[in-house]
Amino acid sequence: MIEDKIIRIRSFNRYYTSVIGLLDKQYLNSEFSLTEARIMYELNHHPDGMTAKAIIELLDLDKGYLSRMLQSFEKRKLIEKRQSAYDKRSFYLHLSQKGSAEFSKLNNASVQQLTELLASFTEKEVNELTGHMDAIRNILEKSATKKHD
């Protein structure tokens, strides 16, 4: 029965919301908010530079909100802007060396956190876990339009 499946999916979503929430708490200790970390992740993932527009679409942020966060990044020397020669309205954004270093710290902390969490599982369990995750993604992305890393 489909109703039953929906109940299970919603239950999983509630459950996984709390899992993600728990993992995201690490940003409380850092000098970056979760959203800032996501922006840095995208910038790091696009070393050739990306526009504010692209970040907005990827992360579904308000452009005014993002604009201010990028200003704050600039003040902190975490990013560099380079105006596009072809479209002077837009700017290519890059992590600076400092920004890359800060991102690495965040990233390492995140890996460390998950490493500790996974320590209580067997290798077989971890393999199964990632297998199920990949499978969910494959199913959902079959119909979805959105693209991800």
Partner DNA sequence: TAAATATAGTTGACAAAAGCAACTGTATTT
Partner DNA sequence: AAATACAGTTGCTTTTGTCAACTATATTTA
Residues near DNA (CB under 7 A) are 33-35, 51-53, 56, 61-65, 67-68, 70-71, 86-91
Query: CA dist 147 to 44, 65, 69, Å?
Result: 17, 23, 24
Residue 108 near its own copies by CB under 8 A: no
Among 12, 31, 65, 101, binds its own copies (CB under 8 A): 12
DSSP H helical segments within 25-119, as ranges? Answer: 26-29, 34-45, 52-59, 63-75, 97-118
Q: Using the rule CB under 8 A, is 89 a contact of its own copies? A: no
Cα gap 91→55, rounded to integer Å: 12
Closer to its own copies by CB, 67 or 127: give it.
127
Shortest spacing between CB 137 and DNA, in angstroms: 24
- On whether the CB atoms of residues 51 and 92 are closer than 8 A, the answer is yes
Q: Which two tokens stand for residue 119?
A: 């320590």
Tell me: does residue 145 bind its own copies (CB under 8 A): no
Alpha-carbon distance of 29 to 130, in angstroms, equals 27
Q: Residues interacting with its own copies, by CB under 8 A?
A: 2-3, 5-6, 8-21, 23, 38, 41, 60, 110-111, 114-115, 118, 120-121, 123, 125-130, 132-137, 139-140, 142-143, 146, 148-149
